Chains A and B, each alone.
Chain A
């Protein structure tokens, strides 16, 4: 029918015109980055504004971790520990905010105080520390507890230095003032930020003039975005998508283990799990290589202690549990009184050794692999996968035996270890309480020398391995898709804070 043909024809014509009108603006573009979230505000006190700005180099912290895990001066010139309770931080007189105002001791202290007041994530890093002005460009930090690692604390992304003068309300790009090598020139909350080179930057000016940072919330959409060639850096690529990049000539995967350890937290209140021999047996019976293969596509490296995913402590990674040893596990379980019955499962006083293992997000495969491994030992494991809120609820009701999670291992070591092992620790889900552990943490808090501190952390890690309140598997693999047309990308275990560096540029520019 003519009518049908004309309708179809007009549709095809308009479709073609629309296609022709589409821009093909991939090549010759600024460096384009995609992440899963663009902040809803430019205010650093609003998460994740601080780390987004820091990652691109628009905002700076006083100190920053290098790829090896060592904290180095960044916006600060250096830091000196005067005694157990006092530090001096020297600033750079040449450093300025985007507005041109100097980065003085007063400005930095006011920035820190504002973060402490308005950002709940910042306050733990400032607790018990008093900052005062020693001179225009020197800050004095006084701590309530001895030997607080001030540079480490001040390296946290929540403490990016920003101008706190009244006119800077951070409600728009005109009222935002940071110190970094890039300035914000366009901003749409939850969508896009565009940065341009700060021509009055105090340090090495970046080779690339413009950066565009966009939000793509869906993981699969980010994979496609990376493969399309439009994006030069795409964060948080799921491990399961790695294979799609093997044959891609537009984008390659850069994989760096994050400072974040996959941990099987055990509920020490459950029958069986209250016995350290049983917990140790479970730890010997974990084939970490297999879990790494199934959970992280083999992109990580097994670790047997929690802190070993922190590059500074990476030499601890094979401590105590130096291999997968199912036989040793079985002997320990026999020794603890859990005997195998005809059905293949272990019983003590007619009660089975059973564990409800809770997983969430991408840990289902790892949980199921663990179920099979422990099943071989005669442990009955039920895997329950769901939303993280279900795990939080289960902890309140006690309906859990184990859960798999990954916590950050980079930061001030004493509060982190307290968080995991102290009876008041917010990450001590299993209710672990041990005098020797608390004693060792106390000793770590009192040493000032980093070598001594490391030795004590090693001793603590060994003790924890023997007690096994939790079982450690491997660091989370952190996958970033990097365009083959991009030069100068530096892999980092905290990639989200270190996306762009001054030497980065597109090939041919």
Chain B
């Protein structure tokens, strides 16, 4: 009998995961159509922008310029109607080919892979700092609720939340790179350089995490099991451990939101710190109307969001066993 029940549970999980996966694929497909069409509605033509760069008109004859534009449009398939363009592009995507950048002539997949690596390094470094700060100060604030430390932490959270990300980033880079020359400005991707932009990103997101941890911790601290543990003389360390475990679901949610934001590209932070991530890549692509690059970036971002949500769903189940037997209707 137990074997039969475990088989049934396994089947439920597989069905649940399959339906989420199918839902994710459908989301991806529909997003790709919407984004493909929307990008082309923006005013401006990538070929005109490419050939008529302000200040550098190398083809002085208007008719020769027009000829050249037509050649390039033909080369990039921009003369076909939007459905044919989509079909051609989608066929390539199925082969994991995101096309060729109109501007650089390089494979979009290759460019995005390089940029994404840089963003992921920054994202994870920032997340580590954010989690440490969030849980550490959140718990401290909850444990010292109403006291001096709690008030200081809450005030700092309000101040940090009020400061725009770019102001914080510029201040940090000015202080560390210009004033005290501790931080090296360059375009390298390495551990010596990631700490400051990671700090900037973490400090931007930490207030939200601290407040969520504080609020959920306070709720858990008021629960019967906590009071019972205290009355039984259980050590503070174990009580806090249990509180943290029971507060994990909202913490995971907040962290996943931060992760999605970072993967989408912390554009301001990447620009200010000259971090060659996907945010900077996206901004350049958008300014140049580089359709394949924009499409590639959009698909990668949508995929990242979907995968993050799937990962969060799985984490929920791992963290809270009660969710394993909840109805799995997608």
Please report the C-alpha to C-alpha distance between residue A432 and residue B113 in the assembled complex, in whole angstroms: 48
Q: Report if A224-B49 is in contact (Cβ < 8 Å); known contacts: A229-B181, A427-B57.
A: no
Contact present for B59 and A124 (CB under 8 Å): yes
Among the listed A22, A120, A123, A218, which residue makes an inter-chain contact with B271, where contact means beta carbons less than 8 Å apart? A218
Q: Do B195 and A192 have beta carbons less than 8 Å apart?
A: no
Most chain B beta-carbon neighbours within 10 Å: one of A3, A387, A388: A3
A7 to B273, CA, bound (A): 28
Q: Compute how far the CA of A120 lies from the CA of B102 in the bound complex, rounded to whole angstroms.
A: 14
A385-399 residues at the B interface, CB under 8 angstroms: 387-390, 392-393
Name the CB-closest residue of A to B105: A46
Cα A190 to Cα B188 in complex, Å, equals 11
Cβ contact within 8 Å between B43 and A1? no
Q: Within 8 Å of chain A (Cβ to Cβ): is B236?
A: yes
Contact with A along B100-144 (1 / 0, CB 8 A): 000011100000000000000000000001001101110110011
Report whether over half of chain A's contact residues are helix, strand or loop; otherwise say mixed: mixed
- Pick from A1, A387, A418: contact of B60, CB below 8 A: A418
Given contacts A387-B287, A389-B44, contact A228 B185 (CB under 8 A): yes
Q: Given A7-B135, A46-B105, are A407 and B187 also a contact pair (CB < 8 Å)?
A: no
Spot the interface stretch: A71-79, A209-217, A343-351, A497-505: A209-217
Q: Are B55 and A221 in contact (CB under 8 A)?
A: no
Closest chain B residue, CB of each to CB of A25: B184
Let me know if B68 is at the binding interface, CB within 8 A: yes
Contact pick for B104, options A3, A40, A360, CB 8 Å: A40
Residue of B nearest to A43 (CB): B105
B106 touches A40 (CB 8 A): yes
**A158 partner residues in chain B, CB cutoff 8 A:** 58
Contacting A7 at CB < 8 Å: which of B132, B177, B187, B280?
B132
The answer, yes or no, to whether B161 is at the interface (CB within 8 Å) is no
Q: Provided the pairs A1-B139, A217-B274, A424-B61 are in contact, do residues A408 and B56 lie with their beta carbons within 8 angstroms?
A: yes
> Does A216 contact B237, Cβ atoms closer than 8 Å?
no
Q: Which residues of B contact A8 (CB under 8 A)?
A: 136-137, 140
Within 8 A of A (CB), among B30-56: 42-45, 48-49, 51-52, 54-56
Contact (A221, B185) CB under 8 Å given A1-B143, A388-B49? yes
A1 touching B140, Cβ below 8 Å: yes
In the complex the two chains form, is A3's CB within 8 Å of B237's CB? Answer: yes
B187–A416 touching, CB < 8 Å: no
The docked-state distance in angstroms from the alpha carbon of A230 to that of B57 is 35
B240 to chain A, nearest CB (A): 6
With the chains together, A192 CA to B48 CA distance in Å? 29
Given contact pairs A3-B139, A191-B276, A388-B54, A426 touches B184 in the complex (Cβ within 8 A): no
List residues 230-285 of chain B with CB under 8 A from any CB of chain A.
236-237, 240, 271-274, 276, 280, 284
**Contact indicator A230/B184 (Cβ below 8 Å):** yes
Out of B64, B173, B192, name the residue touching A22 (CB < 8 Å). B192
What is the bound-complex CA distance between A427 and B60, given in angstroms? 7
Per-residue CB contact flags for chain B residues 281-294 toward chain A (1 = under 8 Å, else 0) read: 00010010100000
Within 8 A of B (CB), among A407-438: 407-408, 415-416, 418-419, 424-428
Say whether A453 faces chain B, with CB atoms less than 8 Å apart.
Answer: no
- Asked if residues A3 and B60 are in contact (CB atoms below 8 Å), the reply is no
List chain A residues, Cβ under 8 A from B56.
121, 408
Interface extent on B, as a size class? 35 or more
A227 to B192, CA, bound (A): 20
Residue among B65, B136, B237 making CB contact with A2, cutoff 8 Å: B237
Q: How far is the CA of A332 from the CA of B219 in the complex (A)?
A: 79
**A425 and B43: CB pair below 8 A?**
no
A508 contacts the other chain (CB 8 A): no
Chain B residues closer than 8 Å to A392, beta-carbon distance: 44-45, 48-49, 52
Q: Kindly state whether residue A21 has any CB partner on chain B within 8 Å.
A: yes
A243 within 8 A of B: no
Question: Nearest residue in A to B52 (C-beta to C-beta)?
Answer: A392
- Provide the bound-state CA to CA distance between A95 and B272, in Å: 43
- CB within 8 A of A387: which of B44, B52, B62, B187? B44
Contact of A224 among B143, B185, B284 (CB under 8 A): B185
Task: Report Cα–Cα, A233/B58, bound state, in Å.
Answer: 28
State the CA gap A220–B269 with chains docked (Å). Answer: 12
Chain A residues, CB < 8 A from B132: 7, 11
A375 within 8 A of B: no
- Give the docked Cα–Cα distance between A157 and B49 (Å): 20
Residues of B within 8 A of A425 (CB): 60-62
Determine whether the beta carbon of B54 is less than 8 Å from that of A3. no
Cα distance, A120 to B43, chains bound together (Å): 25
Whether A230 contacts B186 in the complex (CB less than 8 A), given A1-B143, A4-B140, comes out as: yes
- Per-residue interface assignment for chain B, residues 210 to 242, with 1 indicating a CB less than 8 Å from any chain A CB and 0 otherwise: 000000000000000000000000001100100
In angstroms, Cα B60 to Cα A428, docked, is 9
Best-surrounded residue of B62, B132, B133, B195 (most CB of chain A within 10 A): B62
CB distance B276 to A190 under 8 Å? yes
Contact of B55 with A426 in the complex, beta carbons under 8 Å: no
> Which B residues lie within 8 Å of A427 (CB)?
57, 60
Q: Is the CB of A3 within 8 A of B188?
A: no
Contact (Cβ within 8 A) B54 A406:
yes
The residues of B that contact A11 with a CB separation of less than 8 Å are: 129, 132-133, 136
Q: Which residues of A contact B144 (CB under 8 A)?
A: 1
- Answer yes or no: A405 CB below 8 A from chain B CBs: yes
| A residues in contact with B45, CB < 8 Å | 389, 392
Assess whether B174 is in contact with A224, with CB atoms less than 8 Å apart. yes
Report B238 CB to chain A, min CB distance, Å.
10
Minimum C-beta distance from B116 to chain A (A): 14
Residues of A within 8 A of B182 (CB): 19, 22, 24
Given the known inter-chain contacts A3-B237, A3-B240, A392-B45, please indicate yes or no for A426 contacting B65, CB distance below 8 A: yes
A23 proximal to B (CB < 8 A)? yes
Q: Which residues of A contact B43 (CB under 8 A)?
A: 389-390, 393
Quick check: B143 and A408 within 8 Å, CB to CB? no
Given contacts A4-B140, A405-B54, contact A221 B184 (CB under 8 A): no
Minimum CB–CB distance for A210 against chain B, Å: 15
B178 proximal to A (CB < 8 A): yes
Within 8 A of A (CB), among B138-153: 139-140, 143-144
Within 8 A of B (CB), among A453-482: 476
On whether A224 and B44 interact (CB within 8 A), knowing A230-B184, A424-B61, the answer reads no
Interface string of B69-106 (1 = CB under 8 A from A): 00000000000000000000000000000000000111
Binary contact track B143-178/A, C-beta < 8 Å → 1, others 0: 110000000000000000000000000100110011
Please list 19 pairs of residues, one from A and one from B, whose beta carbons are closer than 8 Å in the complex, sorted by A's number: A3-B240, A7-B136, A7-B139, A11-B133, A21-B192, A191-B188, A192-B186, A220-B271, A221-B185, A224-B178, A228-B184, A229-B181, A361-B54, A387-B44, A388-B44, A389-B289, A392-B49, A393-B43, A426-B52
Q: A1-B240, A15-B195, A389-B289 are known contacts; what are 8 more A-B pairs with Cβ within 8 Å?
A: A1-B139, A7-B135, A121-B58, A124-B64, A220-B271, A390-B44, A407-B54, A407-B57
Binding site for B on A (CB under 8 A): 1-4, 7-8, 11, 15, 18-19, 21-26, 38, 40, 46, 120-121, 123-125, 158, 189-192, 214-218, 220-221, 224-225, 227-231, 260, 360-361, 387-390, 392-393, 405-408, 415-416, 418-419, 424-428, 476
Ordered nearest first, which 7 A-B pairs have the shortest CB separation?
A389-B44, A419-B60, A4-B140, A7-B136, A218-B271, A225-B185, A228-B177
Binding site for A on B (CB under 8 A): 42-45, 48-49, 51-52, 54-65, 68, 104-106, 129, 132-133, 135-137, 139-140, 143-144, 170, 173-174, 177-178, 181-188, 191-192, 195, 236-237, 240, 271-274, 276, 280, 284, 287, 289
